[in-house]
Amino acid sequence: MTDTILVASLSLIGTLVGSLSGILAANRLTNYRIEMLEKKVEEHNQVTERVYRLEQADAVEAEEIKVINHRIADLEEFHK
């Protein structure tokens, strides 16, 4: 009877240690994957912000070109 209890206790301890180590390993892997995804999202957000700024600058330049062309047209009409 004592041998049976000893074997059962050792089996329980082995099972608990194995389960806990598996859970911790899976948790570390999940945390690593989350960190990598956060880095990718941050890089994507930086690219999106840069593209947005470039589009704004392009819109401003396009408006400036329209104004310049209008002024040129006015000057050409004035000299006729």
How confident is the model at residue 56, as a pLDDT?
Answer: 94
How confident is the model at residue 58, as a pLDDT?
Answer: 94
How confident is the model at residue 51, as a pLDDT?
Answer: 92
How confident is the model at residue 17, as a pLDDT?
Answer: 96
Which tens digit of pLDDT belongs to each residue from 29-39? Answer: 999 999 999 99
Q: How far apart, in Å, are the Cα atoms of 32 and each of 23, 36, 47, 49, 70?
A: 14, 6, 23, 26, 57
Amino acid at 26: A
Label residue 76 by pLDDT band (50, 70, 90): confident
Q: How many CB atoms lie within 10 A of CB 65?
A: 10
Label residue 68 by pLDDT band (50, 70, 90): very high
